[in-house]
Amino acid sequence: MIAIIDYGMGNLHSVSKAVERLGFEAVVTADPQLILDADGAILPGVGAFGDAMQNLRNTGLDEVARYYAESGKPLLGICLGMQLLFSRGEEHGDNEGLGLMEGSVVRFQGDYKVPHMGWNKLSFHQGSPLFNGLEEGYVYFVHSYHVKPENGDNLLATTDYNQDVTAIVGKGNVFGMQFHPEKSGELGMQLLGNFLALATGENRIAEGQLQQG
């Protein structure tokens, strides 16, 4: 079972439906015990970094997420959820993040369109179980802030948007995707499927169980 952490700021429905389309059981929940008992957990997010961290603190789900990460079971942050994995974010002031990886979340700066919105190609930087059986391809981004990791070992994939932009991160059992895999076509669903396979030990894509829809 995959827990989708509900702290009031997530694209919960689309993520839940994507997990189910891949053949896995999903539960959207704010219940700490349900989250901690899950095979894998997903921290989605849409909105502002500071507001999201305030919601997590108010509900105690910040500590639940940290405890889950320490348990060794796979945790995935999506979009804002990936940004929250890091130390700090500058959106609407200086805000402390979950601190599961070292780095900061900063606004795009330059003479180009912000937000970064559209299909961009991933470049894989190192091996990861998320990339099993996959080739580099295009996924869909919508964001005005991007992650600058302090440790290059945590950088799994980038995309090019007037600079190298962090797209996928990983540290041990903790992963993040800046784009929305559930809205990123076949490659996005395969990446999400590989995370779910890592969490549950069941590779539904390899077994031909990926359901379109």
Residues with a known catalytic role: 79, 180, 182
How far apart are alpha carbons 100 and 211 in whole angstroms? Answer: 33
How far apart are alpha carbons 167 and 122 in whole angstroms? Answer: 7
Q: Which residues pair with 96 in a beta bridge?
A: 88
How far apart are alpha carbons 183 and 46 in whole angstroms? Answer: 14
Two structure tokens written together for 9: 């700021």
